[in-house]
Amino acid sequence: MTRIPFHPLLFAMAPVLAMFAANPGEGHERALQDGSLVAVAAAVILMLITAAIYRDLRKAALWVSVLFIIITGFDWFYDAIEPIRIAGWQPTRRRYVLPLTYLVLAAYGVWLYRRHAVIPRLTAFANLVALGAVLPPVLILGLADRTFAPDRVDVTPHPFVAGTVMSKPDIYYMVFDRYGGDETTRTLGWDNDIDDYLESKGFYVPGESRSNYIRTALSLASSLNAEYLDELARGRDGSTDWAPVYKHIERHRVGAFLRSQGYSYTHVGTMYYPTLDNPQATRNLHYYAVAPSSVTRLLDSGVLDPMHRALRSPWLDERLQNWHRTRRQIEDVVRLVPERGPKFVFLHIMVPHPPYIFDGDGGFVSKDRQSQRTFAQNYRNAVTAANGMIRQLVEAILRESASPPVIIVQGDEGPYPPGTGADSFLWRTAGTAQLRMRSGILNAYYLPGVDSRVLYPTISPVNSFRVVFNTYFGTNLPLLPDRTFRHVSSLQPFPLDDITDRVAPVAHAGVRP
């Protein structure tokens, strides 16, 4: 125990494990594995660098462990002391606390350099403390209800069967995360003009479309399989395991069908692990995949602010990383357009999803600037930025395509109304206005050569590919009633409750009004 200083590895893993243990079953198993591996690798590299200075691995390990503890705990500590005032003076401002923190860390390093006798005892103590730090989250994850068990998913969607194939247009499915509908933007104080733009380009924009589910994973699992999740939810009431939903996204039958029809499938992923990549894709495009968000979130610690300002590196700053990733997603889709088809391009983009890193003109928004603005201001800026991206994509696709393409631009869910963002928030307690904001989405279709009467004002994402496949591939799929369901909370996906009557004042008996 005293000879092998393994505590830095455990202290590095502890916050990653704790992050997943806070919501057992919600995270993706790859995110946990990748985050743990990167954290351990960082600890090893820091130990080797520090050992070259100390010429003693155990001293290096002791210094690295304290560094990890400071990075992990600084924001919590600062939030606790920040309100302190002495005769009107605030000694806890960052300009004072940060230099003092660095001074303490440096003094500790010098103290370690000069000590020898206490090192074995400190190593043994640090090993025990580190074991104590990782044991609770390990136990929580180990005992969680079927957490990270995608191999146990026993619901396989039935494949689509093509009839008379009329044509094979390129298909672009572009999902802008938390892009709400017109009602949402009006509620927040402005009229969004994106519908007018899309209609001027020949899109059909349903006036009363709502999401089928009010959670990204559920929404995409439904739209990418063109079915409701009734079978997936059966027998899972009370389960906290999201793995079946993630697996449904991974093997979605929209991609499988199009591959069977000779399509290439380019999956343009984001940092959200269920859509980071897809095993069915011909090509996966993702960025900064070796820097898992569970690690970059730790690097967002306030104690590292000076480093972020000096380096401006997306590898170390999660906000900047997300900003660069989004810009690259748009650029790469534009570059894909001239490629020979038929091709299916799926784009999941985390705008206007928070953090609100985009200004209205597309510029980067720092954490401080975001915090100085209201939710409505931040969301409006993000939607305005998203509108610029939509225009750029639509213009490029329509201009550069060799033949008229199919384009679907969609939100997967609306924004979280204030007061509903906690993982533990129970959606059964939500009011009608909150549910309407969460379910209202942008939804627009460009279907060349198709009579617009195949579309209708209440069409929802579950029917998007049913219409497309019926139209171009003769699948003869029946349209489903357009319904909206709510889950329990971010910690519990099932059961799913039908809230269609709550979010749509006018009851719709069938698939059409």
DSSP 442-484: -EEEE-TT--GGG--TT--GGGHHHHHHHHHH---PPPPP---
What span, in angstroms and rounded, lies between the C-alpha atoms of 25 and 82?
34
What does the DSSP assignment read for 4-57? ---HHHHHHHHHHHHHHHTSTTTS-HHHHHHHHHHHHHHHHHHHHHHHHHHS-H
Residue in this structure with the two tokens 């091709």, named with its chain if needed? 343
**Is 170 part of a structural domain of the chain?**
yes
Clarify whether residues 134 and 182 are in a common domain. Answer: no
Q: What is the DSSP letter of 159?
A: P
Clarify whether residues 482 and 394 are in a common domain. Answer: yes
Clarify whether residues 255 and 370 are in a common domain. Answer: yes
Burial environment of residue 143 by CB neighbours within 10 A (0 to 12, 13 to 18, 19 or more): exposed
Clarify whether residues 230 and 95 are in a common domain. Answer: no
What span, in angstroms and rounded, lies between the C-alpha atoms of 294 and 126?
24
**Is 236 part of a structural domain of the chain?**
yes
Clarify whether residues 128 and 186 are in a common domain. Answer: no
**Is 148 part of a structural domain of the chain?**
no
What are the residues whose beta carbons fall under 8 Å from the beta carbon of 19, sequence distance 6 or more?
Answer: 27, 35, 294, 297
Residue 313, token pair as written in the block: 């590196």
N-term to C-term CA, the chain? 71
Query: DSSP 3-state assignment of 510?
Result: coil
Considering only CA atoms, which of 506, 500, 474 is closest in space to residue 486?
A: 500
Clarify whether residues 136 and 176 are in a common domain. Answer: no
Neighbouring CB atoms inside 10 A of 88's CB total 5
pLDDT tens by residue, the chain, 513 residues: 557 899 999 999 999 888 888 776 667 777 888 888 989 999 999 999 999 999 999 999 999 999 999 999 998 898 899 889 988 889 888 889 999 999 999 999 999 998 888 888 899 999 999 999 999 988 888 766 544 444 444 555 678 888 888 889 999 999 999 999 999 999 999 999 999 999 999 999 998 899 999 999 999 999 999 999 999 999 889 888 898 999 999 999 999 999 999 999 999 999 888 998 999 999 999 887 666 777 777 777 888 888 877 777 776 788 888 999 999 999 999 999 999 989 999 999 999 999 999 999 999 998 889 989 999 999 999 999 999 999 999 999 999 999 999 999 999 999 999 999 888 899 999 999 999 999 999 999 999 988 778 899 999 999 999 999 999 999 999 999 999 999 999 989 999 999 999 998 554 434 444
**Is 456 part of a structural domain of the chain?**
yes
**Is 71 part of a structural domain of the chain?**
yes
**What's the CATH code of the domain at 395?**
3.40.720.10
**Is 150 part of a structural domain of the chain?**
no
- Residue where a domain stops, chosen among 93, 108, 143: 143
Clarify whether residues 279 and 354 are in a common domain. Answer: yes
Q: Which long-range contacts (CB under 8 A, 24 or more apart) does 231-237 make?
A: 231/155, 232/155, 233/493, 233/494, 233/495, 233/496, 236/493, 236/494, 236/495, 237/494, 237/495
**Is 155 part of a structural domain of the chain?**
no
Residue span of the structural domain in which 295 resides: 166-503
Q: What is the dihedral of CA 485, 489, 491, 492, to 10 degrees?
A: -40
**Is 429 part of a structural domain of the chain?**
yes
Clarify whether residues 172 and 54 are in a common domain. Answer: no
- Residue where a domain stops, chosen among 108, 128, 143: 143
Query: DSSP 3-state assignment of 394?
Result: helix
Clarify whether residues 364 and 459 are in a common domain. Answer: yes
Clarify whether residues 130 and 181 are in a common domain. Answer: no
Clarify whether residues 420 and 287 are in a common domain. Answer: yes
Clarify whether residues 238 and 328 are in a common domain. Answer: yes
* Model pTM score: 0.86
Number of domains in the chain: 2
What span, in angstroms and rounded, lies between the C-alpha atoms of 356 and 76?
22
